[in-house]
Chains A and B, each alone.
Chain A
Amino acid sequence: MSSKKWLIMLPLCALAALLLVGAFNVAVDPFGVFGDRIFNWYGYNETNNPRVAKLEWLEKNGDNYDSYVIGSSSAASYNTEELNEYFDASFYNLFVYGCDTGDYRDFAKYLIENHTVKNLVLNLGVNETNTYDAEDDPLKGSMHAKADGKSLPLFYLKYAFLSTRQSLDKLSSKMKDTDLPQRFDVFEPLSGCYDKRVRDVEKIGDAEAYQSEHESDFNYAAPAEQMPYIDKCVSVVSDIKKMCEQNGINLTVICSPVYIGQWRTCDESKMREYKTKLAGVCDYWDFSLTPISYDSRYFYDSTHFRNDVGSMVLARIFENENISCPDRFGRLVTEKDCKSYLDSLYRDPPQPELSDYTTDLPVLLYHHISDETGNDAVISAASFERQMRCLFENGYTAVTISDIEGFVLHGGALPEKPVLITFDDGYLSNYESAFPILQKYGLSGTIFAIGSSVGHTEYKDTDIGIIPHFDYEQAREMEKSGVIEIQSHTYDMHQNADYEKGDTVRINAAPLLDESEKDYAKAFRADAEKYNAEAQRELGHSFSALSFPGGSYTEQTQVEAKKAGFTVTFSIETDRRNTLVRGLKQSLYALCRYNMTNDVSNDRLLEILQNQPT
């Protein structure tokens, strides 16, 4: 081909290449700007740019919602299901990461102009006064042109002709995607919230352990300039308030919980200025500095409070007595009482005592009771009785699952020296020996029975003899006495590999090797549903506690257990204290237990009861 012809071909090829790039990007649509028809993966798109992808989600699904949360990532922890109940509405959490109040106004305006809006919840943290109209990453931080009024064609061109690397990243992420959240997929598209399933089941232990595990998350670096955008922020709130008034929308403004590390970097006069000016514009619920601010366990990191705290905030606003909130936890601030409120906050900060809201809980673990001692899972009746007497004589009170649930979830009290006595597997010996001994000393216990072996003396579906297990009648008798509570050790996820005929053997409730997250979730759910139905039938209640067979579990096991309705779970780890923290559901997860044998002397038992990690 002659060079001249080639020269004519050059711009045509360039055009073709551009179109190719554009077509690829539009098809893969890593920002969800073009409807994401192939993948429909808004969890990913929103992680890339929540401002753009969430708005596109609403363009498609806006009819399903009539109320919205607006704010930065500190607004992520308001659960939309709870909001729906409290407000009798359908909420979408339109929070975005990278705080910028200018965006809040744009969003409010966009929502009012394009969707039905009954309620708006506007959440304000401290950072709202630190940034305004910040230099945005043009792809990941920019606002949707439909909301900020910039040129729509240019907006679409930008996302059509972005680097193919963005699209390739989406493809490769798709291959790595799993059910649980990953770095590239942190949103729940339906609610708009973060998918915090994993962080909401992590162990939190005692305050020190948590702090040291998350040290870098809590090193809050204050911005160089203190709260320079107070006026901007307040004027945005004022604008949004006006818009709401004009359109008959119910506006709730919340100043969200602030971690003490961040609070202490804020200058008092600036903070007073902010709160006072805000009160001049509208009444607001202030949760900034409350007793929970002082404990990092209530936070994911120094600028994000936990989902459980979000529930507490809403419970406080809507006076839901069923959820535990500390005293001095949030109040409605008006222009009139703002000054006196701030005076009291600074004069007498609401710093709590640890004992006000936490307690240590030792948990003892027994299995079979028999004089034929064989292994660590067997204890003689005499030793058992000696240990129970020791508890009794030293003033320990045995508590039940509902006692500890009550303490953490509903603000109930626990006795001064609580202990939880548990039995795994559901042996007949528990009924014959342990039950009367507990009764004798006025103690109580929880038995985690394996569903498939209740009432069995032979391994299920075989004639292989096993240690006899009590039946439902005996179970009912024990429960009726108020001494024993029956809970779950799974229906059939504690199999014996030697006796099973099939290919898949579940010796415990952790995922099998190479099992997909989806398959595992299905298997776990099926087991829990089956057992709960049986318990409902036989015992008249379903289960709220689960002891992991063999103590084995993974992050996903706990996630699934939570989903299946288990509020308390037990491991057999002994490496940390069980510390129950009011309001934090996860302080009831994977509780440590000490395995009790004949060898445990009274002195050792008392040591264990001090709840020292070994």
Chain B
Amino acid sequence: MHSDIFTYIDPSQPSTVAAGPLAAKSLAIQPNMSVRGWPTEAGSIALDRFVAVEDATVVKRLRTAGAKTMVSTRMSELGFGLAGDTAAQALAEGHADIALITDTMGEVRVAASTTGVFGFKPSYGTVSRFGLIGLVPSMECFGILAGKLEDIATVMVAISGSDDRDPSMPGFGPECELPDFSQVCEAKESIAVAGLVKEAVDGLGPSESEAFSAALSRLEKAGVKIQELSLPDFDLFRSVHNVIGSVEASSAGGKYDGVRYGHRSASAKNWNEMYLRSRGESFGLLVKTYMLQGAYFQFENYSAFEDACRIRARLVRKTEELFDKADLLVFPTRRPGFDAAAAGTINEVYDAFSLTLLANVTGMPALALPGLVFDGDVDPGLQLVGPRLSDARLLSVALCLAG
């Protein structure tokens, strides 16, 4: 195993062979998922030498399901983008069967399509975020990378469900049903109509377009009707995610002050200088720039944040309306010309995730399927998006299509 893939490898070997649905699987997580006693720096100097003092709810549940959480892979700073992220590599090189990474703007799906595995982002609110160290609370959640859809379903059975310690989760009940992941593999779901959002594919280059059309015709051969739909505001997902995401990052990042944990600048003379310098040294330029954009919206132009939230409401509403005409929506996952791992500026990051933001802004479940689309040797990927809390059905459909 290589230390350029992992930040931590658990030296303790389970003394007895664990039982449970995940007992046979090896799992990779990221250092923004709290495991008591593990270094948990979330890819940021802001959490320099931070060792988690509690287990994330997800970690507890994975252990209950018998998982041997063995390794922690490298990640981008606070999970923003994919620069330096090694989860997909760990899977590709066979170090893990399943990897959990944070999906803030589409990371799990873009990583999946670069590696040829499945990448699943569940509905917002189905998986506890307690113990997740993140950046954009209203849009990020744990996502799952795996070579097998069955593994994704098994993990979801283990980790989904309400948690008192995560106040952002809904109370599940008859009005708001938690998806039942236990039947994913048995249910034979198929879809009649897949919606294709015209505005999402309008921007594709000619070869990307061609490759994506080929994938669609493969779906049609499998009996799916492709229905062209229109979402005129599709371009706004990016703007809305940028405005809201940066404001939340600026706000949620306020806790990294080097007082209770993390990096403290050595040279501060007084209280204010301590904050300025410690935080100035804590964040990389990308995250720092993002937080300052957020500060701009908070302190200089607050109405822009409210406007973005108004548009978010409209985007959720308009996207939901599309499901009147289609069972699911299909999108390409990424644009091969924009390398998420190499993105160095905010705009480059958003360029790389322009096709995945919809699911984060609307909180809808999305699954990246590998192996259906090829642009030269590159896979722009195919992404299925379903209505919120239709996660189990989405996985069942994918199982039928992939099988």
Tell me, yes or no, whether A binds B. no
Q: A interface vs B, CB < 8 Å? A: none
